[in-house]
Amino acid sequence: MPMHRRTVLRSGLLAGAVAATPALLPSGTAFAAPAFVRRGRPAVSHGVQAGDMSGRSGVVWTRADRAARMSVEISTRPDFRRSITVPGDLLTADSDFTGRVRLSGLPTGQELHYRVRLADPDNPSVTGEPVAGRLRTAPGARDDVRFLWSADLAGQGWGINPDIGGYRVFRAMAERDPDFFLCSGDLWYSDGPITERVPLPDGQVWRNLVTPEKSKVAETLAEFRGQHKYNLMDDNLRAFTAAVPMVNQWDDHEVLNNWYPGEVLTDSRYTEKRVDVLAARARQALFEYLPIDRRPRDEGRVHRVIRYGPHLDVFVLDMRSFRDPNGPNNAPAPDTGILGAEQTAWLKRELAASRATWKVIANDIPLGLVVPDGQTGNEGVAQGDGGAPLGREAEIADVLSFIRHRDIANTVWLTADVHFTAAHHYSPDRAVFQDFKPFWEFVSGPLNAVVAVTPNPLDPTFGPEVRFAGTAESLAKNSPLYGNQFFGEVEIDAATTVMTVRLRDTDGAELWSVELNPER
């Protein structure tokens, strides 16, 4: 009888070159003075993260407190009695002492343990304490898959509050023991300064941890790097990333609210008004601080495919880098878009090539929700006129039509951005544009930010119908103090290939679920 990889480690060592990274610091040490004293042994300053795991490969990330040489020990055993040690990168100031190593030759469907030592580059015998992490590679045909998704961390001034245990939603997510976590963007708010105290309508006071980089809008590369460092001060997040591999995409707040290429700011908080300059700095920090696989052909590219065993491919979109300006969004195709021609062609090509049972499309912007930008602009795909596809809708209509005509089965869209959780079913029977297969789009978030009280309106162009929506009960209780932070869970049963989607709250309680039977 086969043994499940969640509970039993398979025997044997790794068959190829592998790498890993360091581990967690005790609470409150991420920014403590001793970590930056330039003597003694090098130390891991901001935990470890694994990411973009497939059946045979992935990456592991860490940051040192000074220049250091990484080495990685990896094993199928938590006691590391049988292991392989692999030399790693030299971490320097050029990357703010961050580094990642690409893993290869990993065994499929395996839970693996890794730990990292940092050595003085001039004296390899001087090493810091090893730091441990855990990862799972993509399964074989007999293993179930469970992953989570959400977005929006430290938004609207709600940062790490020690009074409530910090980012407590990550404790609930860790208890679900997922194979990986899909972060749908807005993992930090570069345009959202954090203050020490925030008075609440009921007389309570929200208290934040603060840092200089989070006390103003981010403009310099150091300030964008500081957005990542701030989040990694949280014990829950560091523990989560050490145990659960990540799949990261980005949205707007990694740079600033509702940004688009070519934008020039009038915001008086900024001395650098060119958004393209800010976005380049934010992108550099993003790739320095997140475990995104950067193979040469994909250098600097956020959109990519994560092939996670025979039953799941995840298509990570970038709906920020190639969009047109946030105007009325009603021009005829092909004058505007949100994916761009190159990414649209890539998505079609990869969807057609997929042999996975389920094709999850990770769209950081919802398809049918109307998201305005100012008085006349539009941030999202839908513009609310309810007619035939125009503007960015036309590009999505083209993709949906392609899926139908190529008979691509079992596509599910996962998104965030709008600060509530919801289940939307799209059907041509209800739609103005009808050349597509019915599909689901699930919304989840935020992780630690303002919660919407009223859901955004839906545009009927693609025939969406609300099956569930979860929001805050009132404006007076729209902060993380009162709960109503959300994450989603997807589980694929290997025996039946049924996908179950659950929407959960701050404490992990199930709010709503649905079972989806695959097309055969």
DSSP per-residue codes, 183-221: E-S-SS-TT----SEEE-TTS-EEE----GGGGS---SH
- Tokens matching residue 491: 């589980």
- Are residues 209 and 252 both part of a single domain? yes
- Tell me which residue of 334, 323, 381, 369 sits closest to 464, measured CA to CA: 369
Average pLDDT over residues 175-197: 97
Average pLDDT over residues 50-57: 93
- Are residues 120 and 166 both part of a single domain? no
Dihedral sign (CA 489, 158, 229, 114): negative
- Are residues 116 and 234 both part of a single domain? no
Count Cβ atoms below 10 Å from residue 490 Cβ, excluding itself.
Answer: 24
Whether 138 and 108 have beta carbons less than 8 Å apart is answered as yes
- Are residues 385 and 327 both part of a single domain? yes
pLDDT value for 20: 34
Dihedral sign (CA 2, 5, 9, 12): positive
| Residue 10 within any structural domain of the chain | no
Cα 49 from Cα 347, distance rounded (Å)? 27
**What order do you get walking across the sheet with 464-470 strand by strand?**
304-307, 312-316, 358-362, 411-415, 439-443, 421-426, 464-470
Average pLDDT over residues 6-20: 36
pTM: 0.93
| Residue 3 within any structural domain of the chain | no
| Residue 390 within any structural domain of the chain | yes
88, 112, 136 - which closes a domain: 136
Q: Mean pLDDT across the chain, nearest whole number?
A: 91
Cα 439 from Cα 431, distance rounded (Å)? 12
Dihedral sign (CA 53, 56, 58, 60): positive
Percent of the chain with pLDDT over 70: 91
Least confidently predicted of 5-19, 73-87, 354-368: 5-19
Give the confidence band of 334 by pLDDT, cuts at 50, 70, 90.
low
Give the confidence band of 101 by pLDDT, cuts at 50, 70, 90.
confident
pLDDT digits (tens, 9 = 90+) for 247-293: 999 999 999 999 999 999 999 999 999 999 999 999 999 999 999 99
Give the β-pairing of 487-492 and 145-150.
Answer: antiparallel
- Are residues 131 and 151 both part of a single domain? no
| Residue 63 within any structural domain of the chain | yes
| Residue 365 within any structural domain of the chain | yes
| Residue 380 within any structural domain of the chain | yes
Q: Which residue has the tokens 């949906």?
A: 400
Residue 502 has pLDDT above 80, yes or no: yes
Least confidently predicted of 376-380, 397-401, 491-495, 509-513: 376-380
CATH number of the domain residue 454 falls in: 3.60.21.70
136, 154, 189 - which closes a domain: 136
Residue 315 has pLDDT above 80, yes or no: yes
Buried b / exposed e along 37-61 (16+ C-beta atoms within 10 A): eeeeebbbbbbbbbbbbbbbbbbbb
- Are residues 131 and 181 both part of a single domain? no
Cα 72 from Cα 115, distance rounded (Å)? 6
**Measured at the alpha carbon of residue 42, what is the angle toward residues 96 and 78, in degrees to the nearest 5?**
105
- Are residues 324 and 467 both part of a single domain? yes
pLDDT digits (tens, 9 = 90+) for 347-373: 999 999 999 999 999 999 999 999 999
pLDDT value for 142: 86
Residue with the larger pLDDT of the pair 240 and 82: 240
- Are residues 131 and 155 both part of a single domain? no
Residue 14 has pLDDT above 80, yes or no: no
Dihedral sign (CA 30, 34, 36, 39): negative
- Tell me which residue of 63, 81, 49 sits closest to 118, measured CA to CA: 63
pLDDT value for 299: 67
pLDDT digits (tens, 9 = 90+) for 418-473: 999 999 999 999 999 999 999 999 999 999 999 999 999 999 999 999 999 999 99
pLDDT digits (tens, 9 = 90+) for 295-305: 755 667 999 99
Give the confidence band of 335 by pLDDT, cuts at 50, 70, 90.
low
Residue with the larger pLDDT of the pair 360 and 35: 360
478, 484, 485, 488 alpha-carbon torsion, rounded to 10°? -140
- Are residues 131 and 218 both part of a single domain? no
pLDDT value for 461: 97
| Residue 11 within any structural domain of the chain | no
Residue 480 has pLDDT above 80, yes or no: yes
Count the domains in the chain: 2
Percent of the chain with pLDDT over 90: 82
pLDDT value for 3: 35
- Tell me which residue of 189, 157, 240 sits closest to 508, measured CA to CA: 240
Residue with the larger pLDDT of the pair 372 and 520: 372
Give the confidence band of 108 by pLDDT, cuts at 50, 70, 90.
very high
Average pLDDT over residues 29-38: 36
- Are residues 283 and 410 both part of a single domain? yes
119, 136, 153 - which closes a domain: 136
- Are residues 188 and 325 both part of a single domain? yes
Residue-number span of the structural domain to which 191 is assigned: 145-516
pLDDT digits (tens, 9 = 90+) for 199-258: 999 999 999 999 999 999 999 999 999 999 999 999 999 999 999 999 999 999 999 999
pLDDT value for 66: 97
Residues 6+ apart with CB under 8 A from 41: 118, 120, 126, 127, 128, 129
- Are residues 298 and 367 both part of a single domain? yes
| Residue 334 within any structural domain of the chain | yes
Residue 35 has pLDDT above 60, yes or no: no
CATH number of the domain residue 65 falls in: 2.60.40.380
Give the confidence band of 5 by pLDDT, cuts at 50, 70, 90.
very low
Residue 6 has pLDDT above 50, yes or no: no
516, 517, 518, 520 alpha-carbon torsion, rounded to 10°? -170
